[in-house]
Homo-oligomer: A and B are copies of this chain.
Amino acid sequence: MLEFLFSPRCVAILGVSRKQGGVGHDILRNLIDAGYEGDLVPVNPQADETQSLSCYPSLAEYKKNIDLSIIALPSQVVLQAVKNSVEAGAKAIIVVSSGFKEVGDDGATLEKEIAGFCRMHKVRLLGPNCLGVINTENKMNASFAGGMPIAGGISIFSQSGGLCTTLLDLATKRHLGISKLISVGNKADITESDLLHYLAQDKQSKVIVGYLEDIVNGSDFVKSATEASQEKPVIIFKSGVTKAGLRAASSHTGAMAKPDIAYGAAFKRSGVIRADTFDALIDFGAAFSMQPLPRGNRVLIITNAGGAGTMAADAVENAGLQVARLGRNTAMALRQKLPEQSRTGNIVDVLGDGDIEQYVEAINTAQRDPDVDAIIMLFTPCAMTRPADTIRAMAASINGTKPVLAVFMGGEDIIPGRDELGVAGLPDYPTPDRAVAALKAMYDYASWRKMPPRVVTRFPVNRRRVERTISRKIRSNSFQIGEVKSKSILKAYGFQIPEGYLATSVEEAVEIAERIGYPVAMKIVSSDIVHKSDIGGVRLNINNRDEVQDSFDLMTMRIGHKAPDAWIDGFYVEKMVNKGLEVIIGMNRDPQFGPMLMFGLGGIFVESMKDIAFHLAPITLDEALQMLKSTRSYEILQGKRGHEEVDLAAIAIGLQRISQLTTDFPEIIELDINPYIVGEIGVDPVVADARMTLQPLSRQQ
């Protein structure tokens, strides 16, 4: 249905004042100026004519059906205007008016009512509190975002109106062609996911660029973003990543506080290219829309100033790409065409007086050389260079087989040259690091596209047993799952747990200990006690009958003092776990994106060094191994630095099992296996301790 938003045959504007400066007036003017060819229906009870068009006192007076209605009226009368629009046949509505969710509860209620009405009538709603829509294909500027951009392949959506205008402005300055521009506003109905879904299929859109402050529905987003990324690059900047930023964002759009880490994981999963700076949105957009993807990571640097070449080489290496060297023969051939002191080693330096022919020779050589995957051309202004001419010649020599990015360093003197670049379809950057960042994004996206399809393993498990345990817990309003029950759930999902049984008397404890064999551990079992070590409820390395008896008496006495009201189920007597490396694996359910799996080395590494990896469930074996690799302490797992090598695959499988468990049971909102004791290859890791937290589905959002 979004085609009525982007390609309506007839557009009504409700709230067109005669005087300039009003929003409705500006939108009508923009529609006329841009050359929209469908019917325009301005509505204003007080005017007969506006901007040389006849005005209707009400929509009802216009006897034909409309496709799109744009409402620019005070918030109190918007609901009525929406009803009138639907009655007049509108299939899509844009509410540009503000005064809704962003101003408080009353506004939010009104907004919900309007969105509900539209949904009931199967009419799509953009906004409220937005700037509108631009579509260059049918010359429609149904917005007050600014002038009509040139047509091209970039489609932009933005949650902030001000930044929508900024993006449009920046794109224009860099000669980037735009297909669609959408200001999404409060997203009462049409969300980023709807737009991703639509733009993924839209033939005019070659690259999608988005500015977001929050996401309406995490799983919809992951689905539509993945689908879109498979078709074309999706580049997103997300603001509100720090606590201060979140406070600013939440009072601004009513968005909920959400940790940035979950967004990072969701973007990565979906193949979304994350722009770390606002500049990068347009920087990346330019590269992706103008140049082919690189086949590898070897970047040739061509420069007329050694200093700039050095900076570029720094940037290439810092980004994890490689500085390319020309092949031996290629370099020899090129040298003969360049001045004597020029260089063809790890950077090609055509020198300060490098002339057009030399740049062109270097580009041609680099395009032919199989050892070069991408080209960065640096250009510093010198008294003797002719920027505009050089660029025309360079642009003409580019054959489109490898990405070529230009860096024009400088200001006034080279602005004619820079404009020439944009016109010629060569992306242009003010510094080497920004060009390299764009190239890195292209390389990463190309690698993502090449990845084999994700295969999520499903292990045979005893799901029924877990179902019973969880529903019993929830029925009894008991949402903390202690060690014993957690271990039993984990066992049902294939985890190795130490042998152990509940004892309710000293005799029973001794009997169990003798049966499973020493050494044993004894742990208090009580749903009233969450942190059992803190009150002396855990004893380890118990070696004989006497020690079992002593431990039983000592723990009973202490708990009697420290938690006199706790209901004690008994003591869990468990075989001691063999020594090994202690790691932590777990899960935290993000309200938007669902289960976030976690991995870290035990103790100091997780707690002080924050050396933790996250990943969205469901996870594949490859992804789980990648999680391990991404920690700084990975060397320890590999068995370097005086540590024993451990079974990496076994940890990865543990993460996959948690992934399956927490995907199967959305009631589990937290899960910790800490420590998970891993040994050498072939030895099953063991769950030494575990806990979980439940939340009934009805209480979740």
- Chain A interface (Cβ within 8 Å of chain B)? 21, 26, 98-99, 102-103, 144-147, 158-163, 165-166, 169-174, 211, 213, 239-245, 247-249, 251-253, 277-279, 301, 303-314, 316-318, 323, 341, 343, 345-347, 349, 352, 380-384, 409-414, 430-433, 603-604, 607-611, 632-636, 640-643
Inter-chain CA distance A600–B604, complex, in Å, is 15
**A279 to B383 Cα, complex, angstroms:** 22
Q: How far is the CA of A314 from the CA of B352 in the complex (A)?
A: 40
| 12 more CB-based (< 8 A) A-B contacts, given A170-B410, A240-B310 | A162-B308, A162-B380, A166-B381, A247-B323, A248-B312, A248-B323, A249-B306, A277-B431, A603-B641, A604-B635, A608-B633, A608-B636
* Cα distance, A413 to B239, chains bound together (Å): 24
Across-interface contacts of A341 in B (CB, < 8 A)? 98-99, 102-103
The 8 A-B pairs at the shortest CB distance, nearest first, are namely A162-B305, A160-B307, A173-B411, A162-B380, A252-B306, A245-B314, A169-B410, A242-B317
Which of A145, A171, A308, A604 is packed against the most chain B CB atoms within 10 Å? A604
Q: Which residues from chain B contact A635 at a C-beta distance below 8 Å? A: 604, 607-608
Q: Is the CB of B382 within 8 A of A162?
A: yes
**In the complex, A451 Cα to B211 Cα: how many Å?**
42
Given known A-B contacts A279-B431, A633-B608, A411 and B174 have beta carbons under 8 A apart = yes
Q: Which residues on the B side are within 8 Å of A607 (C-beta)?
A: 635, 641
Q: Does the CB pair B636–A172 fall under 8 Å?
A: no
Instruction: Specify which chain B residues have a CB less than 8 angstroms from the CB of A383 in the assembled complex.
Output: 26, 144-146, 165
Instruction: Decide yes or no: A163 and B305 within 8 Å by CB, A170-B411, A341-B103, A433-B277 being known contacts.
Output: yes
Q: Is the CB of B166 within 8 A of A410?
A: yes
Check A166 against B380 for contact (C-beta < 8 Å).
yes
Chain B residues contacting A381 (CB-CB under 8 Å) are: 146, 162, 165-166, 169
Partner of A162, one of B352, B413, B608: B352
Report the separation of the CA atoms of residues A308 and B167 in the bound assembly, to the nearest whole angstrom: 12
Q: Evaluate contact between B347 and A317: CB separation under 8 angstroms.
A: no
Contact A307 B414 (CB under 8 A): no
In the assembly, what is the distance between CA of A303 and CA of B166, in Å?
13
Q: Min CB distance, A276 to chain B, in Å? A: 9
Task: Please report the C-alpha to C-alpha distance between residue A381 and residue B169 in the assembled complex, in whole angstroms.
Answer: 8
Q: Which residues of chain B have C-beta atoms less than 8 A from A310's C-beta?
A: 160, 213, 239-240, 245, 248-249, 252
Q: Is the CB of B242 within 8 A of A307?
A: no
In the bound assembly, the distance between CA atoms of A636 and B608 in angstroms comes to 8
Asked if B412 and A173 make an inter-chain contact with CB atoms under 8 angstroms apart, the answer reads yes
Measured CB to CB, the nearest residue on chain B to A170 is B411
Contacting pair A252 B309 (CB below 8 A): yes
Q: Decide: A243 near B311, CB < 8 A? Known: A160-B305, A252-B349, A413-B146.
A: no
Q: Sample 10 A-B pairs with CB under 8 A, ordered by A number.
A: A159-B307, A162-B304, A162-B382, A165-B381, A173-B411, A248-B323, A253-B306, A278-B433, A279-B430, A604-B635
**Residues of chain B within 8 A of A634, CB atoms compared:** 608
Decide: A641 and B604 in contact? CB cutoff 8 A.
yes
Contact A380 B165 (CB under 8 A): yes
How far apart sit A313 and B318, CA to CA, in the bound complex (Å)? Answer: 27
Taking CB atoms, residues of chain B closer than 8 Å to A409 are 162-163, 166, 278
Across-interface contacts of A163 in B (CB, < 8 A):
305, 307-308, 380, 409
Which of the listed residues A169, A349, A432 has the most CB atoms from chain B within 10 Å of its own CB? A169
Which residues of B have CB within 8 Å of A166?
305, 308, 380-381, 409-410
Chain B residues within 8 Å of A347, by CB: 248
CA distance A349 to B309 in the complex (A): 42
Residues of B within 8 A of A308 (CB): 160, 162-163, 166
Considering only CB atoms, which chain B residue lies closest to A301 in the complex? B248
Residues of B with C-beta under 8 A to A632: 608-610
Within the complex, what minimum Cβ distance (angstroms) separates A569 from chain B?
28
Are A604's CB and B244's CB within 8 A? no
Residue of chain B at shortest CB distance from A253: B306
CB–CB B242/A313 < 8 A: yes
Q: What's the minimum C-beta distance from A389 to chain B, rounded to whole angstroms?
A: 14
Contact B169 A239 (CB under 8 A): no
Contact of A313 among B247, B414, B608 (CB under 8 A): B247
Q: Give the complex CA separation of A607 and B163 in angstroms.
A: 45
Query: Contact at B380–A245, with CB atoms within 8 Å?
Result: no
B residues in contact with A161, CB < 8 Å: 305, 307, 352, 382
Are B278 and A431 neighbours in the complex by a CB distance under 8 Å?
Answer: yes
Q: How far is the CA of A46 from the CA of B347 in the complex (A)?
A: 39
Pairwise interchain contact B251-A346, C-beta atoms closer than 8 A: yes
Q: Which of A162, A277, A604, A641 has the most CB of B within 10 A?
A: A162
Closest chain-B Cβ to A28's Cβ sits at a distance in Å of 12
A634 CA to B607 CA, complexed, in Å: 12
Nearest Cβ on chain B to A16's Cβ, whole angstroms: 15
Shortest beta-carbon distance from A206 to chain B in Å: 21
Please give, as numbers and ranges, the residues of chain B lying within 8 Å of A349 by CB-CB distance.
Answer: 252
Distance in Å: Cβ of A181 to nearest Cβ of chain B: 14
Contact A384/B307 with A345-B251, A346-B247, A409-B163 known, Cβ cut-off 8 Å: no
A659 nearest CB across to chain B (Å)? 27
A251 and B413 contact, CB distance less than 8 A: no
B309, A248: Cβ atoms under 8 Å? yes
What is the bound-complex CA distance between A632 and B171, given in angstroms?
A: 41
Verify A382–B318 contact, CB threshold 8 A.
Answer: no
Q: Which residues of B contact A641 (CB under 8 A)?
A: 603-604, 607-608
**Which residue on chain B has the smallest CB distance to residue A241?**
B314
Query: CB-nearest residue of chain B relative to A307?
Result: B160
CB of A55 to closest CB in B, whole Å: 21
Residues of B within 8 A of A253 (CB): 306
Could you say which residues of chain B place their CB within 8 Å of the CB of A603?
641-642
Contact across chains for B314 and A244 when beta carbons are under 8 A apart: yes
Q: Which residues of B contact A312 (CB under 8 A)?
A: 248
Closest to A611 in B: B609
Complex Cα–Cα for A278 and B434 (A):
11
In the docked arrangement, what's the CA distance between A146 and B145, Å? 39
